[in-house]
Amino acid sequence: MFSPLFILGPTGSGKSSIAVAVAQQLGNAEIISADAYQVYRAMPILTAAPTAEEQGGIPHHLIGNLEVQENNDAATHARRAQQCIAAVQARGNVPIITGGSGLYVKFISHGISPAPPSDPALRAELMALPAEECVRRLQEADPEGAAATNLQNPRYVVRNLEIVLLGGKPLSYWRNNWQPQACGAGFVITRDVAELDARIATRARHMLRHGAIEEVAALPAELSPTAEKTLGLSLIRQHLHGELPLPELETTLALATRQYAKRQRTWLRREPWATPITANPAGIESILKAVTEKTARA
């Protein structure tokens, strides 16, 4: 039975195409997405999901399999991914997991945290509060946990406050009672920041000129909480409402994507189990060599 192989990286790094190239070279591999948003079938352009042609004849899983009204969280996605991994292994193939959604990757690679899952009603209640009120409540309920939280990120504050309120215990309890163990080999595709920024700008331009705006215009009014957080969705809505001209939309979308990629790089640097491999414009032969050699040893 083949261990899972993780090919990770920030958005725009080329990890999806590299995963396909590795799978083609291995000859007996299937790809499982660890992306939080590519699961939505109504947003393939906005989420940069690989097209049928880009999938290169390699079986892909957890891409375009949910309606936008269906919620998707890290724990749910990880359970689905583990089912896919087991099925791929049962067929005698190598499971290749690729993506850049931090917690989604972590739960697939290291197991699901025992912290209580999100409660939609409580999440909605907390999200409706002013950001400073959520910070105050977290500091009162768990001073130590608040000190370890990025209080400038409302999403982190709300989630940590939610864990404390639902679990009745400080964040340290859940952290200390989760002993994650990596399963499989991991690689992080890295690029020079300037090169990555240029790739992101090109992607934003291509996306907007090849259907992302029309894709958003066709979405139903009600989306799941996860689908609502899709990168670029709110910006394109502003454009559709006449609030953001196309040139400004392109610039703003590229900036938001660069900022997201920076957060991904920060997270990936904290994952020592995954080996950084530099991608370069000359090609990916060195990446394929390193990945296949490590797979052979696994």
Domain boundary assignment for the chain: 5-113+179-297, 120-176
What is the structure's pLDDT at 275? 86
H/E segment holding residue 32 = strand 29-33
Q: Domain spanning 5-113+179-297: which superfamily?
A: P-loop containing nucleotide triphosphate hydrolases (3.40.50.300)
In which residue ranges of the chain is pLDDT below 50? 281-283
What is the structure's pLDDT at 116? 83
C-alpha closest to that of 108 among 247, 8, 243, 252: 8
Tokens of 252: 């703003």
Domains 5-113+179-297 and 120-176 share a fold: no
C-alpha closest to that of 248 among 236, 258, 230, 231: 236
Q: What is the pLDDT of residues 271-291, one digit of tens each?
A: 888 888 887 644 466 666 766
Tokens of 128: 């409706």
What is the structure's pLDDT at 280? 62
Rg over alpha carbons for the chain, rounded to the nearest Å, is: 20
* Pairwise CA distance, residues 125 & 132, whole Å: 14
May I ask the CATH class of domain 120-176? Answer: mainly alpha
Q: What is the pLDDT of residues 211-240, one digit of tens each?
A: 999 999 999 999 998 899 999 999 999 999
Q: What is the pLDDT of residues 184-198, one digit of tens each?
A: 788 899 999 999 999
* Pairwise CA distance, residues 191 & 200, whole Å: 12
What is the structure's pLDDT at 283? 46
Angle (CA) 42-47-52 rounded to 5° is 75
What is the structure's pLDDT at 38? 96
Predicted model pTM: 0.82
Neighbours of 216 (CB within 10 A): 21
